[in-house]
Amino acid sequence: MRVSTEDQAREGFSLTEQRERLETFCKFKGYEIIDYYEDAGISAKTGNYRPEFERLKADIKAKKINTIVALKLDRITRSICDWEKLITFLDENNAYLDCANDEINTTTANGKMISRLLMSVSQNEIDSLKNELSTKDKIIEGYKLKRKN
């Protein structure tokens, strides 16, 4: 579970909301919940250290768990590169991911394909936001430069 901003918490992606939805999903699927891994206020963009995500991977490696259950794929990552690394890691450790909202299950080739398509959309959202923010910064800088003259 992860929220990266207070806005997400207010708009129904709070950790409490995610936990409730995931518990219902796990009950429906017959999954036993071993632990919760919550990275509050940390973006899933590449380069951010997420201690709970690292603990999750350590527990997979130690065979304490074999399934990651997430509400949406973008709660795990928004990076195509990071996603491919995670799929490889899961395959190497006989583990998989099951997403409640996105209906993604990486035990099948089709599930992996769909996850890659959705990850491309998430990566595009991040890239578009970066471009938009960069353009706004340039406009603001240009405005400041004009005012000084």
4, 79, 115, 122: the active-site residue? 4
CA distance 26 to 30: 6
Task: Report the 10 Å Cβ neighbour count for 90.
Answer: 20
Task: Report the 10 Å Cβ neighbour count for 106.
Answer: 21
Could you give the C-alpha distances from 78 to 6, 13, 32, 62, in angstroms and in order?
18, 16, 27, 26
Does the annotation count 79 as an active-site position?
Answer: no
Determine the residue type at 5. Answer: T
CA distance 35 to 128: 35
- Pair 13, 47: CB distance under 8 Å: no
Residue 20, classed as helix, strand or coil, is: helix
Please identify every residue annotated as catalytic.
Answer: 4
